[in-house]
Amino acid sequence: MLRTRLRAPWSRYVLALALIAGPGLLGCGSTSAAKGGDDAKAEGEDGPKGLEPLEERAHAVVEAPPPPASEAFTLRGGVVMTATGHRWDPGYVVVENGRIAAVGEGEPPSRVGRVVDVSGHVVTPGLIDVHSHLGVYPQPSVGAHMDGNEATSPNTAGVWAEHGFWPEDPGLERASAGGITTLEILPGSANLIGGRGVILHLRPMRSARAMRFPGAPDTVKMACGENPKRVYGRKGSAPMTRMGNGRGFRAAFAAARAWLEENRDKPVAKVKRDLEMETLAGVLTGRILVQVHCYRADDMLTFLQVADEFGISVRAFHHALEAYKIRDVLAARKIGVATWADWWGFKMEAYDGIPENLALVDEAGGRAIVHSDSPEGIQRLNQEAAKGLASGRAAGVSLDEDKALRWITANPAWALGVDAEVGTLEVG
């Protein structure tokens, strides 16, 4: 049972954020695209065919989420930063039925519902963190609560972060106080294929399933470089080298391709369940978004070679400290770069980071993203974005505050496939 001491104060933080930080915590409509598009199923004499019904059962709701927010209110008098290139001082935001009804400069044409004077404050979209382990590595941390790495096999695509998520993690309350409204909870990086991530709407509920962002797609965490080869190499098993990493990915994708071809048109009752293959089938069909832990430029290029072999799209590279070395490639492929503003040097593959990384990726036309990967850093993503902005300007990169705001709002929303709902202050 949830402790009342947790639920009560967190609820107050959520209300304050809905009023000051924009629409990130307001109700979001579900979209069919989030479950892979058309809900129609091919029917046969044995019932529905294909893999989609299996996914629907796996995503069944036990605890119903709360209804969308319906309170109407008007914010006026503050600085409004939309993350779309507009900045109004003063500006206004009008919200009705959980949606932005009007946003603009000066005074609102009509004041709807409760009017809140936010003079002296800045109104932005809710902040989004694409890389968090809150709930699976709670803060404060004890060994009994460490549920983020199923380090029993290099391929654990069948595990789901939400099944190990603890909704009473005190760090969630602190993240909310720091302006976070949406976040992706990921498995750790011990394995080549660590399992499915989950995109959460940061509101107090009793399970991750009830906190899931309505309509959000599933994601999968993969990892290249040092971590998998260290974890399994010290056990005397594969992968022990970067060569082994590459083979591990190729073998997993090849097996998934064969399994998908064998099962995609079978009646559901005759599909031989394989949880690893079901996740990787979603990767091959593009229904599950691929998020890859990768530091070095050569590791990113190697992963892209393997991905191309199997027709897999990478949504974002995470950490990506050497993204600046291949920023033209990443921009051309429309791959997000989720990284830190100024944290590197803590292991060999993190040696060649630079504070201008975010700015250079942005300048090249890429999707730069500030992530936390930290229960402390998630509380100050705005400050991390400001550091990246300052470093870029000092290096001569032409950047404005709206660009930096997009690093923690619009761009991460795109990386998570929820940009139609959150990430900017726009009507609708």
Q: Tell me the mean pLDDT in the region 123-133.
A: 98
Calculate the average pLDDT of the chain. Answer: 89
Q: Please name the residue that has the structure tokens 């039925």.
A: 97
Residues 233-253: tens digit of each pLDDT? 999 999 999 999 999 999 999
Please choose, from the candidates 42, 85, 67, 359, the residue with its C-alpha nearest in 3D space to the C-alpha of residue 210.
67
Q: Tell me the mean pLDDT in the region 151-176.
A: 98
Q: Residue 193 pLDDT > 70, yes or no?
A: yes
pLDDT of residue 48: 62
Among 45-59, 212-226, 348-362, the minimum mean pLDDT is found in 45-59
Q: Where are the domains of the chain?
A: 51-65+125-415
Residues 250-264: tens digit of each pLDDT? 999 999 999 999 998
Q: Which tops the pLDDT comparison, 262 or 29?
A: 262
Residues 409-421: tens digit of each pLDDT? 999 999 999 999 9
Q: Please name the residue that has the structure tokens 């609560």.
A: 145
pLDDT of residue 274: 96
230: confidence class by pLDDT, cuts 50, 70, 90: very high
pLDDT of residue 37: 38
Alpha-carbon span 278 to 272, nearest angstrom: 10
Alpha-carbon span 134 to 373, nearest angstrom: 9
Q: Which tops the pLDDT comparison, 19 or 111?
A: 111
pLDDT of residue 11: 36
pLDDT of residue 412: 99
Q: Residue 96 pLDDT > 70, yes or no?
A: yes
Residues 269-326: tens digit of each pLDDT? 899 899 999 999 999 999 999 999 999 999 999 999 999 999 999 999 999 999 999 9
Q: Does this model's pTM top 0.85?
A: yes
pLDDT of residue 49: 67
Q: Residue 7 pLDDT > 60, yes or no?
A: no
pLDDT of residue 347: 97
pLDDT of residue 26: 35
CATH superfamily for 51-65+125-415 is Metal-dependent hydrolases (3.20.20.140)
Alpha-carbon span 88 to 128, nearest angstrom: 22
13: confidence class by pLDDT, cuts 50, 70, 90: very low
Q: Residue 38 pLDDT > 60, yes or no?
A: no
pLDDT of residue 28: 37
Alpha-carbon span 50 to 265, nearest angstrom: 5
Q: Which tops the pLDDT comparison, 266 or 408?
A: 408
pLDDT of residue 141: 83
Please choose, from the candidates 96, 21, 30, the residue with its C-alpha nearest in 3D space to the C-alpha of residue 64.
30
Q: Tell me the mean pLDDT in the region 54-63.
A: 88
277: CB partners within 8 A, 6+ apart: 157, 255, 256, 259, 260
pLDDT of residue 61: 85
Q: Residue 19 pLDDT > 80, yes or no?
A: no
Alpha-carbon span 296 to 350, nearest angstrom: 7
Alpha-carbon span 382 to 234, nearest angstrom: 39
70: confidence class by pLDDT, cuts 50, 70, 90: confident
Q: How far is CA 408 from the centre of its chain?
A: 11
